[in-house]
Amino acid sequence: MAAHSQKIIGFEILTQNREIRFLYTHTDHQRKGTASALLQGLEETAKEADHKSLTFSTGITVIKKRLT
């Protein structure tokens, strides 16, 4: 979760099967690195759990990212 001035400005959900279910940034905070920071946190969490990849579904698009 990302917060600014005690307000939630973004959040993410990672399922147990390594799927990024949600990655949300409030419109007032888009294009400011919030989503990138959230995604980086998810990647670090996955690496610590020894996962080799994450899956992120966005509508009809499915993105699979290899973790290095």
Name the strand (E) or helix (H) holding 10. strand 7-14
β-strand 2-4 against 7-14: which pairing, if any? antiparallel
Predicted confidence band at 63 (pLDDT cuts at 50, 70, 90)? low
For range 19-43, the mean pLDDT: 90
For range 24-50, the mean pLDDT: 91
The overall average pLDDT reported for the chain is 86
pLDDT at 59: 65
Coil, helix or strand at residue 62: strand
Distance of CA 55 to the CA centre of its chain: 10
Residue 50 DSSP code: T
Coil, helix or strand at residue 3: strand
